[in-house]
A and B are shown apart, each in its own frame.
Chain A
Amino acid sequence: MLVIRADLVDEIVAHARRDHPDEACGIIAGPEGTERPERFIPMLNAARSPTFYRFEDDEMNRVYREMDGADEWSVVIYHSHTATEAYPSRTDIAYASGPLADPRVHYVLVSTREDAQVNSTGHELRSFRVVDGVVTEEDVDVVESYMFSHTGADDVPDLA
């Protein structure tokens, strides 16, 4: 399950709408070793495309260095699909199964298509784990704050 603050969901959706019809992408960083998304980091889509996204090299380099320096990691990597459902494509799965892709990342997809299928998040927004090509959807619990949520270090799954 992904537990995520409502203001971060709003940020993802706002970014996706802003960049529509191109795909939008970004990171929500959190304290390394936790499952707690805290810092919203919209990223440039170097592909500037309605069908593809790619983190831009220089920005990615800088952002990952900042996260390392702040003892953060990517809790969430999000991107939008602008004409199709919020479900990982073959390309999404291939990259998320790459040799350096961390299986502890929550991949959040949001669809900005016209006939979006709104769910309990108030948007067509879904979260997935991707491990070695296998996609597993997980529940998304949108909360106002993490004060009473179990997002601490005790809930981190062991790395297989």
Chain B
Amino acid sequence: MAVTVSIPTILRTHTGGAKSVEAKGSTVAEVIDDLEARHGGIAGRLVNNGSLHRFVNIYVDDEDVRFAGGLDAPVGENSTVTILPAVAGGMR
């Protein structure tokens, strides 16, 4: 079961410059494990103490996984997983 994972610019050094790569897994956590096995150095950027890093957004088929079970969110066959930085700030 192949999933397409969209890689943010900062992590493309780990994917030989590729903007998207294939991975396997039926949950977000499994996809991250598979990515780490193929392109070492990615998991540490995404996961912090067993949960999704606060400043990281992951979408499965455009749905934010924070509202779908976090790292346990299901990933369907032929899904697209998009990894993006959270872009935010404020005056304080």
Contact = CB atoms under 8 A, between A and B. Distances in A.
Interface of A: 23, 25, 32, 47, 49-55, 57-58, 60-61, 64-65, 68, 73-74, 77, 79, 81-84, 88-92, 94-96, 98-104, 159
Given A73-B9, A98-B53, A100-B11, 16 more contacts: A51-B92, A53-B88, A55-B86, A58-B62, A60-B57, A61-B84, A65-B6, A77-B87, A95-B87, A99-B44, A99-B85, A100-B55, A100-B83, A101-B55, A102-B8, A102-B85
B64 interface: yes
A99 B89 contact: no
Interface string B57-90: 1010010100000000000000000111111111
Interface of B: 6, 8-11, 13, 19-20, 44-46, 48, 53-57, 59, 62, 64, 82-92
Contact of A57 (B53, B54, B64): B64
A86 to B, nearest CB: 11
Contacts of B6: 64-65, 68
A119 B39 CA distance: 45
Contacts, number: 109
Interface of B is mostly: mixed
Given A57-B64, A58-B62, A99-B56, A91 B10 contact: no
A22 to B, nearest CB: 11
Contact of A99 (B53, B64, B90): B53
A96 B56 CA distance: 12
Contacts of B86: 54-55, 95, 98, 100
B60 to A, nearest CB: 11
Contacts of B46: 99-100
B7 to A, nearest CB: 9
Given A61-B82, A159-B13, A52 B8 contact: no
B42 to A, nearest CB: 10
A74 B85 CA distance: 12
